[in-house]
Amino acid sequence: MSNREVILTGDTPTGQLHLGHFVGSVRRRVELQDSHECFFLLANMHAFTTRASEPDEIRSDTLEIVRDYLAMGIDPDKSAIFLQSETPAIAELTFLFSMLLPFNRVMRNPTLKEEIKVKNLGENYSFGFPLYAVGQTADILAFRAHSVPVGEDQIPHIELTREVARRFNKLYCGIDENVEDDDPIMLEKGVFPIPKADVGKVGKLMGTDGVNKMSKSLGNVILITDTPKQVKKKMGKIFTGRQSPTDPGDGENALMQYVETFIPDPERAAELKDKYVRGDNIGDGHIKVEVAEAISEMLEPMQARREAVGNDATVIDIIKSGTARANAKTEETLAMAKDACGLQFFGRELGF
Ligand code: ATP
Ligand code: MG
């Protein structure tokens, strides 16, 4: 068995992947896949929490996300890409963990509150919608993950996960209430390591509206599959409120974030930002075109890799083998968890 640290993270098939996924999480995953035991989750059950009436779209987005992963450099021989819906231990742990979290604690999660607002869910969201936050604690803990590469919006979810791990270890593994998270006893006696969020260099890439986080559900994204023409058009829309090339620009706005993130030469990025902030005769339009070109250059080899992936059957083979690896790991965790809380009466063998 591998002694490498475990990484778990994933994406919900609510659309294709975009630049926010790349800079916030996927780029980091690619860096870690040689040194860590990596599991990447296709959160297709969670997609039903907001999209239950669109099963066909969820299915096709699930396959498209795998293509995006491969395009961005995830190697399925090194990392297990797997289906949430075919990893039953996750669903079982979700039910168990839902008993370890007060209802009001879940509902106070700021990321959930924000999603209810920006996705216009109002009062009519399903019972399953807030349950996804509990489910996400199970996604992570089912792998006994040490770290979770994510964008900054996920930090409250990881905090909830850390609470569940602590509570479980203290309730069922005989760990004293006062033991700190990093005390070696937590790993020796507890079932679950207390996982850490590993936020990428760009924890929150702004969308092309210039106002909100780039997000699949908000239609403000540059996709991994966008052509140079599409990238240029979308970049052109970024709102800055600046009127003329001689107006001093806001160095913290979305356009400047794109400059810092996507202009590959840091000296050129610094020069653009300096001129922009001073209003040194540099128009937004000029900068947008330069950034769009840099993005398209970055995307070009990704798109070539994506083209080479093959048909749906090939993609399904990849997720089938990743799901077998995920089940081996999560069945082991579930047995340990059941053992700790008296639910293990006899072992079981699933046919994966
Ligand atoms: P949705 O709108 O359905 O919530 P999303 O675009 O927010 O979709 P998720 O599937 O929720 O994408 O997020 C997957 C991962 O990508 C998470 O780790 C999240 O933090 C990260 N991520 C998503 N958008 C961004 C962004 N704009 N900047 C940085 N990280 C991001
Ligand atoms: Mg999201």
Q: Would you give the distance in Å from CA 72 to the centre of its chain?
A: 14
Q: Which of 19, 71, 65, 26 is CA-nearest to residue 302?
A: 71
**Ligand closest in space to the Cα of 26:** 1
Cβ atoms of 25 and 73 closer than 8 Å: no
Cβ atoms of 192 and 169 closer than 8 Å: yes
The per-residue pLDDT for 241 is 87
Query: 116: helix, coil or strand?
Result: helix
Cβ atoms of 249 and 279 closer than 8 Å: yes
**What's the CA dihedral at 332, 144, 88, 153 to 10 degrees?**
180
Sequence ranges of the domains in the chain: 6-204+311-340, 225-306
Distance (Å, whole) CA 318 – CA 69 = 12
* Best probe residue, ligand 1, of 7, 8, 9, 12 (max atoms within 8 Å of C-beta): 12
In ligand 1, which atom is closest to the CA atom of 50?
3
In ligand 1, which atom is closest to the CA atom of 11?
10
CA of 215 to the centre of ligand 2 (A): 6
Distance (Å, whole) CA 6 – CA 38 = 6
Percentage of the chain lying above the pLDDT 70 cut: 99
Per CATH, 6-204+311-340 and 225-306 having the same topology is answered no
Distance (Å, whole) CA 4 – CA 7 = 9
Q: Which residue has the tokens 């996960």?
A: 161
* Closest residue by CA, ligand 1 atom 6: 215
The per-residue pLDDT for 104 is 95
Distance (Å, whole) CA 108 – CA 97 = 17
In ligand 1, which atom is closest to the CA atom of 9?
18
Q: Which residue has the tokens 């803990």?
A: 141
CA of 44 to the centre of ligand 2 (A): 13
Residues with C-beta less than 6 Å from any ligand 1 atom: 11-12, 14, 20-21, 24-25, 150-151, 153-154, 203-205, 213-217
Cβ atoms of 148 and 158 closer than 8 Å: yes
* Best probe residue, ligand 1, of 44, 61, 215, 221 (max atoms within 8 Å of C-beta): 215
Per-residue pLDDT tens for 229-238? Answer: 999 999 999 9
Query: 310: helix, coil or strand?
Result: coil
> What mean pLDDT comes out for the span 84-88?
98
Tell me the sheet residues that pair with 149.
198
Going by pLDDT thresholds of 50, 70 and 90, the confidence category of residue 200 is: confident
> What mean pLDDT comes out for the span 311-326?
97
Q: Would you give the distance in Å from CA 115 to the centre of its chain?
A: 15
**Ligand closest in space to the Cα of 18:** 1
- pTM of the predicted structure, to 2 decimals: 0.94
DSSP 148-188: EEE-GGGHHHHHHHHHHHHHHHHHHS---TT--TT-HHHHH
Q: Residue 268 has which token pair?
A: 């050129």
Per-residue pLDDT tens for 173-195? Answer: 999 999 999 899 998 999 999 99
Distance (Å, whole) CA 42 – CA 1 = 24
The per-residue pLDDT for 151 is 92
The per-residue pLDDT for 2 is 66
Cβ atoms of 264 and 291 closer than 8 Å: no
* Best probe residue, ligand 1, of 8, 11, 22 (max atoms within 8 Å of C-beta): 11
Query: Could you tell me what percentage of the chain is helix, strand and coil, using 3-state DSSP and rounding each to the nearest 5?
Result: 55, 10, 35
In ligand 1, which atom is closest to the CA atom of 150?
18
The per-residue pLDDT for 203 is 94
User: Which of 18-27, 92-101, 120-129 shows the lowest mean pLDDT across its residues?
Assistant: 120-129
**Ligand closest in space to the Cα of 153:** 1
DSSP type of residue 249:
P
Percentage of the chain lying above the pLDDT 90 cut: 89
The per-residue pLDDT for 123 is 87
The domain defined by 6-204+311-340 folds into Rossmann fold (3.40.50)
Per-residue pLDDT tens for 117-176? Answer: 888 888 889 999 999 999 999 999 999 999 999 999 999 999 999 999 999 999 999 999
CA of 173 to the centre of ligand 2 (A): 33
> What mean pLDDT comes out for the span 213-234?
94
The answer to whether domain 225-306 has CATH 3.90.550.10 is: no
Pairing verdict, β 196-199 and 79-83: unpaired
